[in-house]
Structure 1
């Protein structure tokens, strides 16, 4: 038996857990996951935590493969040359291979007053804090949700279903990924729940105060609780460690998900930017990228050439409270089809997807190497060629 190989995974989300479980295929590999909290957070459930219909936590004993060590701590620096990770509570952990899966959160709002008076929802602690605030706030109080993506829509719907007075504000269109037909259905569902939807550039937020939201066209909305779901940000660990990142702070990798600065570092999930063309943020993508990152590490351990990532997006889904939803089918290039499922069927498919995102981790823990996903092989290579030639991609 060859010498033991230490694989360290930074981040215990969908990508990190999938990668950690999959690497255990080799008997001579020791796997350590570094994560700042002792429980797994299924982020697809955070809007339910805010609404009080789910606690949004899963015990790691249910989803981590036997033998994977969990270190509850934060990582403050990666020493690529010395192959070590410095821990927030002191000390460090050495590695032979590192999987960078630190995930994402909301970017710090640049709107005046938002950081002081708006409540984010992108982490467990933020969602728990908001839940506590809402518990102490009368149901009749005005609530404003900023952001027209899935998180904003689902949070607004969850709270409106409980009888709260909710306004959903988005500077663009609500549900930008959705096909226009599905978007009309989404507006209908929100209206039925009593959500007041404000869209377009005139509805962009210019300032937030303790009891109001100011819009770009000069309107002022009374808002006792303002919830901020707009924007995207990642931890600055890679940049602070001297590794190259994209403009958003995601670790730059090649198409095998290998860091362009150090081949013993592989990245997965929201914090990775393969070829500077990151995949859309989703639990589905995170799990698939985590599996591919593990395969890249296993290939390198075996002295084999890792394969480029090949991933297509079959769908995306949004819930509108506990009783209805939209399941939007997508083309392989991650654009929406005309076809979508709505109502109870859409809700059932959404719930199935949420449950499956965790079930895949459990399955991989018990049978490492089993996870598979839809491939494409066409659209991403076209995007890469277009990027290299500085010409627009022609995608059929």
Structure 2
């Protein structure tokens, strides 16, 4: 008789849900998903929650396979030696394998006054706290959005389309990922919505007060509501558990997503740093990483060698209010191309992507193993970057990769 394997997945976001569903491919695997919320947070819709056009949550009953046990709780520590996790509500849960998919959130801002007076929106509760603040503010109240990545751009556009007086403070360039052509398109849409975009030298925020934002060039902007979208951070669970991490706290793994400390711990999503070269924070990366993590665990249970990471990217999709958007196409190794789709077709494409993500997760719950996009080749660029980082010749690097994989197996 085959011995049953208990697998815990920590984190019920894009990566965690994909991993949990995929792990049910084997009848001899018991899957437990531990998540602090009873509903799935559709993070790429959080700007819509802020703007009032969506609640950004999906019922787990629509996403999780029936065989996945959902535990609504938080993990306070991983005991790798004992192969168990400690829960916030007390008690421990043992595992044979663990998938670390705790996700990401806002970094603690080191700008004076930002933690006290600015509103982050990287998490559900943060966005929910901001919504009534905006409702209470007058329609003409100045709103400042700090950070010009996708979240900042989407939030600024959403609020401006609703009639708010919005200033977007970039602290650099608008949409750093975008190709210059795509950046010009976004800038044009922002201008049409009436958003004041402050970018370039002097646009870094140096202080936030209750009713203003100060910039590095000396300007003071009136701001009744300041929204903070700059920065990136991950939960410190791996650090608190004594596991090896990168400088930001992401779990260090090899190219099979296996922890460098323990072959029974596998990471996925924003909280993973494979070979110290993490992928861009995005659901586009998280879902395939979740599938890859599950495949690694299943390969180890079967006594097989896990396949290494080989991620492909399509680009970046940004909504610009309900009436427009942009899909910035990219090389498969995640560098923007000149080509993009914008305007109303861009908005339709963004909505198609948002709906498609939920459909991918739900489809995997009904037919585990059906998701295959993580097997599409991302090309040789990642291996080239890894070789360059190690300062090795191609032949030596390939030999080292094989030897490392054999030792971990």
- Shorter-chain TM range is over 0.9
Deviations 1:285-318 (A, max 9, x none): 1000000000000000000011101111112111
Alignment of 1:96 with 2:104, yes or no, is no
Alignment of 1:68 with 2:75, yes or no, is no
The residue matched to 1:328 in structure 2 has which SS? strand
For the aligned residue pairs, the C-alpha RMSD in angstroms reads 0.9
Q: Which residue of 2 aligns with 1:12?
A: 12
2:386 aligned to which of 359, 384, 387:
384
Asked if the contact 2:333–2:379 (Cα under 8 Å) also holds between the matched residues in 1, the reply is no
Q: Which residue of 2 aligns with 1:349?
A: 349
Q: Give how far 1:337 is off.
A: 0.6
Asked if the contact 1:258–1:264 (Cα under 8 Å) also holds between the matched residues in 2, the reply is yes
After TM superposition, the structure 1 = structure 2 runs for residues 1-396 of structure 1, keeping only pairs within 5 Å, are 1-373=1-373, 374-389=376-391
Asked if the contact 2:332–2:379 (Cα under 8 Å) also holds between the matched residues in 1, the reply is no
Asked if the contact 2:145–2:229 (Cα under 8 Å) also holds between the matched residues in 1, the reply is yes
2:106 and 2:152 map into 1 onto residues whose CA distance is: 12
| TM-score, length basis structure 2 | 0.95
1:53 and 1:348 map into 2 onto residues whose CA distance is: 15
Q: Give how far 1:201 is off.
A: 2.8
Asked if the contact 1:8–1:99 (Cα under 8 Å) also holds between the matched residues in 2, the reply is yes
The residue matched to 2:176 in structure 1 has which SS? coil
* Structure 1 segments unaligned to the other structure (5+ residues): 392-396
1:333 and 1:126 map into 2 onto residues whose CA distance is: 32
Which 4+ residue blocks in structure 1 deviate beyond 2 angstroms?
none
1:297 and 1:58 map into 2 onto residues whose CA distance is: 27
Q: Give how far 1:67 is off.
A: 1.4
2:378 and 2:114 map into 1 onto residues whose CA distance is: 40
Deviations 1:230-259 (A, max 9, x none): 000000000000000000100000000000
The residue matched to 1:203 in structure 2 has which SS? coil
Q: Give how far 1:64 is off.
A: 0.3
Range 224-233 or range 382-391, more displaced: 382-391
Q: Give how far 1:377 is off.
A: 3.2
Q: Give how far 1:97 is off.
A: 0.2
The residue matched to 1:34 in structure 2 has which SS? strand
Deviations 1:26-55 (A, max 9, x none): 000100000001000010000000000000
Q: Give how far 1:390 is off.
A: 7.6
Asked if the contact 2:204–2:216 (Cα under 8 Å) also holds between the matched residues in 1, the reply is yes
| TM-score, length basis structure 1 | 0.98
The residue matched to 2:202 in structure 1 has which SS? helix
1:146 and 1:368 map into 2 onto residues whose CA distance is: 40
Q: Which residue of 2 aligns with 1:394?
A: none
Asked if the contact 1:202–1:216 (Cα under 8 Å) also holds between the matched residues in 2, the reply is yes
Q: Give how far 1:219 is off.
A: 0.3
Asked if the contact 1:332–1:379 (Cα under 8 Å) also holds between the matched residues in 2, the reply is no
2:159 and 2:87 map into 1 onto residues whose CA distance is: 38
2:148 and 2:215 map into 1 onto residues whose CA distance is: 15
* Structure 2 segments unaligned to the other structure (5+ residues): 394-409
Number of aligned residue pairs: give it: 391
Asked if the contact 1:157–1:321 (Cα under 8 Å) also holds between the matched residues in 2, the reply is yes
1:300 and 1:380 map into 2 onto residues whose CA distance is: 24
